[in-house]
Amino acid sequence: MEKINTTSKTQPPIYIQISQDLRNLIIKGHFQQGDQIPTEDELVMKYGVSRMTARNAVTELVNEGLVFRVHGKGAFVARAKLQRSLNKITGFHQDMLEMGLNPKARVLDFEKRLPTEKECHRLNLRKYNKVFSIKRIRYIDEIPFGYQELIVPEFQAPKLDSLNLETESLYSYLKDIDKPIKNAEQRMEAVMDAHIAEVLGTPVEIPFFFFDRTSYLVDGTPVELLHSYFRGDKFSYTVSLSN
């Protein structure tokens, strides 16, 4: 755990920073399911914070289901899975940053090409409208967490090929050029996929969430097809439903 900067105005509150440190240690496997995480006393000592701050840090992790408290004993890892919301249209990069993690991407393939018949249909394209097709592995630090294939019409995002897609986000770029994504339709499957496991270098017995997303601009134009595979042993997804 690193020394926490209490002065910078861009830093989140200290209890959030402590919860980020702890989350990081859980996600990287330093603490595993069933392990006890540092007690509030230990956090008070380590970070030089009040007991209330230490308690709030742990409560953050309790609220997202990462740890549970046992009365009089402390807090233990419930499941070492990151929790993402399905109610928000956000990218992997932004979500991970907000959790205090260190997201990375490696571009496996970037091409500009003619669309397939299916892509024409789903993106409302003419046969001669070229698309960018980008394949990326998503990491947290050095650990592969997922694989994504992105299809975007060239005329919607003409400068996409000058973006550094290992560090920059399509969604931010679209916002910058006044084409923010308004809504999306997403389908999820639970799958085994030996090919994706090989690409990621993960054990074949890990199931993946497969997401098939179509994203739309304010005027209803489809602007993105996104096929994602995220590790079932690393993620869970929440959704709020109302009648």
Binding stretches for a copy of itself (CB under 8 A): 65, 81, 83, 86-89, 180-192, 205, 207-209, 232, 236-243
Instruction: Name the minimum Å distance from CB 192 to a copy of itself.
Output: 6
Indicate the DSSP class of residue 115: P
Instruction: Name the minimum Å distance from CB 95 to a copy of itself.
Output: 13
Strand, helix or coil at 128?
A: coil
Decide whether 1 or 180 has the Cβ nearer to a copy of itself. 180
Instruction: Name the minimum Å distance from CB 149 to a copy of itself.
Output: 17
Place of tokens 């007690």: 39
Sign of CA dihedral 191, 194, 199, 205: positive
Instruction: Name the minimum Å distance from CB 70 to a copy of itself.
Output: 9
Q: What single string gives the DSSP state of each residue in 56-82?
A: HHHHHHHHTTSEEEETTTEEEES---E
Decide whether 100 or 232 has the Cβ nearer to a copy of itself. 232
Decide whether 54 or 181 has the Cβ nearer to a copy of itself. 181
Q: How far apart are CA 115 and CA 181, in angstroms?
A: 21
Q: How far apart are CA 173 and CA 21, in angstroms?
A: 29
Decide whether 18 or 61 has the Cβ nearer to a copy of itself. 61
Decide whether 109 or 219 has the Cβ nearer to a copy of itself. 219
39 Cβ neighbours under 8 A, 6+ residues apart = 74, 75
Rounded alpha-carbon distances, angstroms, from residue 59 to 52, 113, 119, 202, 237: 10, 49, 45, 32, 19
Instruction: Name the minimum Å distance from CB 64 to a copy of itself.
Output: 10
Decide whether 68 or 155 has the Cβ nearer to a copy of itself. 68
Instruction: Name the minimum Å distance from CB 134 to a copy of itself.
Output: 21
